[in-house]
Each structure stands twice: as structure tokens, then as C-alpha cells.
Amino acid sequence: MNSTSPNRSSKEAVLRRVKQAIDAPQSALWGREDRRQQELQQIPREFRTVGALSSAERVALFRSRLDHYGAASHLATGAEEVRRIVQELLRSQKKETVLVAQDVQEDWIPRDIHLVRDSDLSYEQLDHLDGIITGCTVAIALTGTVILSAREDGRRALTLVPDYELCIVREDQIVELVPEAIQRLSSLKTTPLTFFSGPSATVDIEMIRVKGVHGPRTLDIVIAMSE
């Protein structure tokens, strides 16, 4: 495929044209890699990289952003309260068959609900579920964003095909700013990542925000506060 000769010659042609365009003659190539690294270090990053809010303020900001997106958020202190709120949410919305992603803490999950674990379910099987419960890798207060990584929170299809998502975010997972979240992801950067900010939405018709197109149409977030 990528080893066939026409493609290799195209690669050479593209790179040759690029080099010509940026005027990198053979003589100037010496030390170019060093110069690249040096210049990369000198790129200005004067924007905010460390947040200024307290933990309580971060939680409050995160919740107000979620509210703005039309996602409900619920505070819970301790595993028992998390379990109770999860149970209430599932009951009140009649979510009977619910899948739980692998890394979700056991003691967060109510015992009296028909729970499914992900055992290579097909997309059709996922499509017939009532919903999915996941944890979270990092959350960003300023933008109301939850980030899931496939390594920690299960494969991406789980939070995509079912129509309902319940996501449990630990208080210490919430950072204030985008750069702080990117920093926390540095050991996970090659695992598939999904950032979501509220439920699926579109503004394609007259710029009116319509909630819920292809991704889960309903999103509940439970914030597990540190005791």
C-alpha cells in the first residue's frame, strides 16, 4: 500500500517542493534539527496555564457550564450518596439495562439495577442498551468539558451508541483551565481521547442550538466530592 513506488515518489515530490518553498537548501540543512528544537522552545506561551480558583469555585463553575449546555449535574459526598443518586437518576428515567465501563468504582454502582459489563458487545447490542455509566479522566471547569480516555474509561463506542450517558466525575479530577487538562493527559496522549462539552448538539439550522443529534441525547453528570 504505502510502499508502492508511485506513492514513494509522490512523497519525495511533495517534500522536495516543500523544501524548495521554505528555501532550505542542502547547505542550510546543517543544524536545522537543532534550530527547530530551539525555536520550538522559544514559542511564547504567555496565556494562563495555572488556574486561580479554589476547589469549591471550580466545582461551581463546572456546574454552571454544564447547566448552560443543558446537562444536569448532581453533587454527592461519599460513595453511598453517589450510589443513591445514580440509583435515583436511573429509576426516574426508567433506564433499566445499563452498561458500566470497566474502571468505574464498584461502590458507586447500585446493586438492584440490571447492569451489563462490556464483554465485546456488538454495536447493535449497544444500540439496544438504555444507557451507559462511565468515570472520567479529567474535567475542565472553564469550558464544562469532560475528557474520557479509552485506556481508563472504556472503548469509545460505549459513550457513543447508547442514547443516555451518566458520567461520574471526582472532585479532584476537575481542573480550571484547558492547559491544565492537556498537562494531565501527557501520559495518555496516544490512547483515543474524547472530549465532550454537553450533549450532542447542532446549530446548522438557522444557528438555533438543537440538543441531541447523533451522540447521547441526555447527559447526567454526578460530581463525587472529596469527603
Partner 1 sequence: MSIRIAQTKSARPFPEAAREAIQDTQLRHNVRRATNTIRTKRANMVAEMPDWQQLRESGRAIKRHVLRYLDLYLEQFEQGVTRAGGHVHWAQDADEARQIIRDLIAQHNAHEVIKVKTMTSDEIELNSYLQANGITPYETDLADLIIQLGEDYPSHIVVPALHKNRAQIEQIFSKRMPLKEMGIDHLTSDPNALADTARRYLRERFLRVKVAISGANYAIAETGSLVVVESEGNGRMCLTLPDVLISLVGIEKIIPSFQDLEVFLQMLARSATGERMSPYTSVWTGVNPDDGPKEFHVVLLDNGRANVLADDQGRQALHCIRCAACLNACPVYSHTGGHAYGSVYPGPIGAILTPQLLELNGARSLPYASSLCGACYEACPVMINIPEVLIHLRTKVVQSEKDSLLGGLSIENLAMKSALHLFEHPELLESAYCLARIGQGPLVENGVLPYVPGMTQWTRTRDLVAVPPQSFREWWRTRDSRNESTRDAA
Provide the 10 A C-beta neighbour count for residue 65: 20
Shorter beta-carbon distance to partner 1: residue 65 or 83: 65
The amino acid that residue 15 corresponds to is L
What is the distance in angstroms between the CA of the first residue and the CA of the last residue of the chain? Answer: 56
User: Segment near partner 1 (CB under 8 A), from 76-84, 91-99, 129-137, 180-188?
Assistant: 180-188
Place of cell 530551539: 38
Span 110-149, contacts to partner 1 by CB under 8 A: 123-124, 127, 140, 142-145
44-103: contacts with partner 1 (CB under 8 A):
44-49, 65, 69
Q: Which of 113, 156, 170, 225 binds partner 1 (CB under 8 A)?
A: 156
With respect to partner 1, which residue has the nearer C-beta, 60 or 77? 60
Q: Which residues on adjacent β-strands are paired with residue 211?
A: 201
Rg (CA), the chain: 23
Could you give the dihedral angle defined by the CA atoms of residues 125, 121, 139 and 89, in that order, rounded to the nearest 10 degrees?
50
Please select the residue that binds partner 1; options are 55, 87, 93, 200, rule is CB under 8 A. 200
Q: Is 187 in the site for partner 1 (CB under 8 A)?
A: no
Q: How many residues make up the chain in this entry?
A: 227
Q: How far apart are CA 74 and CA 33, in angstroms?
A: 51
Q: Which of 157, 86, 172 is nearest to 118 (CA)?
A: 157
Q: Given the complex with partner 1, which of 112 and 124 has the nearer CB atom? A: 124
Q: Which of 34, 106, 206, 227 binds partner 1 (CB under 8 A)?
A: 206
Among 160, 170, 184, 225, binds partner 1 (CB under 8 A): 160
Determine if 179 is a binding residue for partner 1 (CB under 8 A). Answer: yes
Interactions with partner 1, residue window 16-55 (CB under 8 A): 17-22, 24, 32-33, 36, 39-40, 43-49
Which residues are 218's β-sheet partners? Answer: 164
- What is d(CA 126, CA 134) in angstroms, rounded to the nearest whole number? 14
Q: Which window, 74-82, 92-100, 166-174, 205-213, contacts partner 1 (CB under 8 A)?
A: 205-213
